[in-house]
Amino acid sequence: MNRARSATVVAALLLGGCGVQPSGVTDAAEAPTGIAPGVTLYFLDQNGTLRPQQRRSGRLGTVAEAVTLLLYGPGQSGLRTGISPSESPRAEAVTTPGTIELRLPLAAGEVTPPGADQIVCTALATHIQSGGPARTTVRLIFTIPEPGSDTPRTCPLISPRAPGR
């Protein structure tokens, strides 16, 4: 009788061991991100220093949208920009692991070095906010390049060792 009972227990254990068992709550991964009340653009103040500006657009948008918005200029905010205004600003972005390639409707001569930082920082900020890693470089591709204008760049205000992916 006892043997029969223990045999039943063993069989139950063996059969119970098969298949998917319920589990407790398990930590699995980083939470997804990318939601934001607006987009961060970078302009220059009176001293020519790089400054972030929040645009309450209601959503984060893509890197290309953010850079396009940057090309439209600072508007009435009292900040300046190092990028020459253009007729129909429209940037294109191709993101590969570690690099964002920005195709700009501008000649290299139309952008000052701080202006280039503005573009790089804006692109990186959006990239980070949408969950991308901070250790990413940006290549600017102008309509008329200058020697060294398409080297990978980083933003002086954003540390590549910032938390996040």
Partner 1 sequence: MRWWPRGLRVRLLAACALVAFAAAGAAAWAGAESAGDALLASHGQQLTRTVTDQVGAVTPSLSYPPDQATLDRLRAAVGGDTLVTYRGLRSAAGTGPGLVTPELRDAVRDGNRLVTQRVVAGGTPWLLIGTPVVITAVDGTRRPSGIEVYTARDLTGVDGRIDDLTRSAIGAAALSLPLAALLALLAARSVLRPVRELRDTAGRLAAGDLGARTAPVGADELADLTVTINEMAGSVQASMAAMRRMQADARRFAADASHELRTPLSTLTAVMEVLADTADDMEPDARESARLAIAETRRLVRLAEDLMEVSRFDAGTAALRVEEIDLAVAVRESLRARGWLDRVEVEAPGPLPVRADRRRLDVVVANLAGNALRHGGPPVRVRLGATPGEVWAEVTDGGPGLAASALPHVFERFWKAGSSRTGPGNGLGLAIALENVRLHGGRLTAGNADGGGARFLLHLPRDAQETR
Would you give the binding string for partner 1 spanning residues 33-62, x where CB under 8 A is met?
xxxxx--x-----------x-----xxxxx
The answer to whether 162 contacts partner 1 (rule: CB under 8 A) is: yes
Confirm or reject binding of residue 18 to partner 1 (CB under 8 A): yes
- Letters for 59-98 (x = contact with partner 1 by CB under 8 A, - = none) are xxxx------------------------------------
Number of residues located near partner 1, criterion CB under 8 A = 41
- As measured in angstroms, the least distance from the Cβ of 88 to partner 1 is 22
Contact between 4 and partner 1 per CB under 8 A: no
Pairing of strands 99-103, 137-141: parallel
Stretch that binds partner 1, among 28-36, 79-87, 94-102, 107-115 (CB under 8 A): 28-36
In the bound state with partner 1, the residue whose beta carbon lies nearer, of 30 and 87, is 30
What does the per-residue mask of binding to partner 1 show for 123-142, with x meaning CB under 8 A? --xx-xxxx--x--------
Q: Which long-range contacts (CB under 8 A, 24 or more apart) does 62-66 make?
A: 62/93, 62/126, 62/130, 63/93, 63/95, 63/100, 63/102, 63/123, 63/126, 63/127, 63/130, 64/91, 64/92, 64/93, 64/102, 65/39, 65/126, 66/39, 66/40, 66/41, 66/122, 66/123, 66/125, 66/126
Distance from the Cα of residue 154 to its chain's centroid = 13
